[in-house]
């Protein structure tokens, strides 16, 4: 049996974009180096958290784990990225809650950020776009943080729901390279 990406079966020979969280950049660079020769028009999209400096945005404290750094990772080749999203923590956590309630998916904080970026990208690419989102974490590790209303309140995070969340995702501004 062939690998889905090698045989292109899952994407019928086409893949428009891949959305990946960025931290030390090993994962996104490995994925980019594998996919770009196979899908020359693919958009490689990085996702970071507000407060991290990877994408050149100002440093500030943040609670999210899995993405973000206080320095630029030496193995990140920014020229391989089409664009990036720098996601506010409250939006990432809101997406986690929405995925849990709407889809029954208990996923982690960095996944919430990746899905937020992926949803904005899907709007910009339009109907029929084939987007692969790499979602690296599960939510059971976040039951005492992201999924705990006391923790969220203590740290000043307000979750958006329904149309408010949809509007917040629609208002994201990607960084282009």
| Eight-class DSSP state of 89 | H
The CATH fold of domain 14-176: Rossmann fold (3.40.50)
Kindly list the domain boundaries of the chain, sorted by start residue.
Answer: 14-176
Q: What is the pLDDT along the chain (177 residues), one digit of tens a residue?
A: 233 344 445 666 689 999 999 999 999 999 999 999 999 999 999 999 999 999 999 999 999 999 999 999 999 999 999 999 999 999 999 999 999 999 999 999 999 999 999 999 999 999 999 999 999 889 999 999 999 999 999 999 999 999 999 999 999 999 998
Asked if 19 and 117 count as a contact pair (C-beta separation under 8 A), the reply is: yes
State the pLDDT at residue 14: 83
Query: Look-up: residue for tokens 């943040």?
Result: 62
Residue in 129, 121, 119 with CA at minimum distance from that of residue 99: 119
The torsion defined by the Cα of 97, 121, 133 and 149, in degrees rounded to 10, comes to -10
Rg (CA), the chain: 16
| Eight-class DSSP state of 155 | T
| CA–CA gap between residue 24 and residue 43 (Å, rounded) | 20
> CB 51: neighbour CB atoms within 10 A?
18
CA within 13 Å, CB half, 154: 9
State the pLDDT at residue 10: 60
Residue in 29, 143, 45 with CA at minimum distance from that of residue 86: 45
Asked if 84 and 21 count as a contact pair (C-beta separation under 8 A), the reply is: no
Contacts of 129 (CB under 8 A, 6+ apart): 16, 17, 121, 122
| CA–CA gap between residue 177 and residue 166 (Å, rounded) | 25
Q: Strand pairing partners for 46?
A: 20, 84
State the pLDDT at residue 136: 87
């Amino acid at each position: 049996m062939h690998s889905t990406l090698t045989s292109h079966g899952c994407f019928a020979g086409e893949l428009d974009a891949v959305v990946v969280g960025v931290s030390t950049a090993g994962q996104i660079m490995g994925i980019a180096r594998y996919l770009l020769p196979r899908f020359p028009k693919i958009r490689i999209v990085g996702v970071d958290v507000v407060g991290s400096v990877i994408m050149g945005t100002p440093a500030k404290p943040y609670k999210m784990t899995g993405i973000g750094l206080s320095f630029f990772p030496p193995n990140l080749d920014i020229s391989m990225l089409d664009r990036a999203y720098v996601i506010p923590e409250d939006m990432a956590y809101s997406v986690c809650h929405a995925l849990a309630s709407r889809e029954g998916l208990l996923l982690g904080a960095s996944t919430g950020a990746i899905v937020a970026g992926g949803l904005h990208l899907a709007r910009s690419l339009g109907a029929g776009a084939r987007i692969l989102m790499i979602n690296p974490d599960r939510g059971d590790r976040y039951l005492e943080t992201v999924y705990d209303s006391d923790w969220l309140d203590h740290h000043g995070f307000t979750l958006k729901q329904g149309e408010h969340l949809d509007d917040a995702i629609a208002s994201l501004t990607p960084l282009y390279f």
